[in-house]
Amino acid sequence: MSNVVFITGATSGFGRATARRFAAAGWALVLSGRRLERLEALRDELAAQVPVHIGALDVRDAEAVKQFVADLPEGFRNVRALINNAGLALAPVPAQKVDLADWHTMIDTNITGLVNVTHAVLPLLLQVGKGASIVNLGSVAGEWPYPGGHVYGASKAFVKQFSFNLRCDLQGTGVRVTDIAPGMAETEFTLVRTKGDQAASDKLYRGTTPLTAEDIAEQIYYVATLPEHVNINRLEIMPTRQAWSPFAIDRDA
């Protein structure tokens, strides 16, 4: 029976790169996302290598998530790795200027969606037991605050603490949990955050060397395929050219 990896948000960025990485290693794929045409294209690309099961899915919808997992075909139920990748950032402006709906969208996707999928898939992971893995995509924003981070950073702090608490609850089951926290990475992330502002995205990455989606996919694969007695609790990854800044000081003119 093939190992199966279940990836949310597989239509772009880290999720799509992770699907390709696991496919290269012979894992069967369960891929979900909201854009069916992209899932179909990815399935068509990878189906010659490994079995692929896709489904258009909004992780915010608990009942839809539960049904999708319940309906997994028999060959895709041996889930050895869950990659909770679906998430987004919106409104990179001061909190006092944010539309409340953007906050709700981030909470519903980054927090509610994460727990919906984890709760639904966990029984399958527990059946595998030793060597099974949950990899949650956090962010350096969950550890290090910055202007405009507001609810996004707070939601990724939830991812970190939820991952740690899962580790405690799953002690003795053999199921591992990792919070992977990327720094600056060039994907569609900034385009989504700025609602399609290509100039803003280009400006962020201009003149430096950010991480790539493939860089993060390689680390996801690494932590999910370590010997079964090894658990990476949290892996924070920045490009070499990114570091922390001094404290901001408000001074009199």
Catalytic residues: 152
CB 128 within 8 A of CB 80: yes
Report residue 150 CA to chain centroid gap: 19
142 Cβ contact list (under 8 Å, min separation 6): 153, 155, 156, 157, 158, 159, 160, 179, 181
List strands edge to edge, sheet with 133-137: 52-56, 28-33, 4-7, 79-84, 133-137, 176-182, 234-237
Report residue 103 CA to chain centroid gap: 18
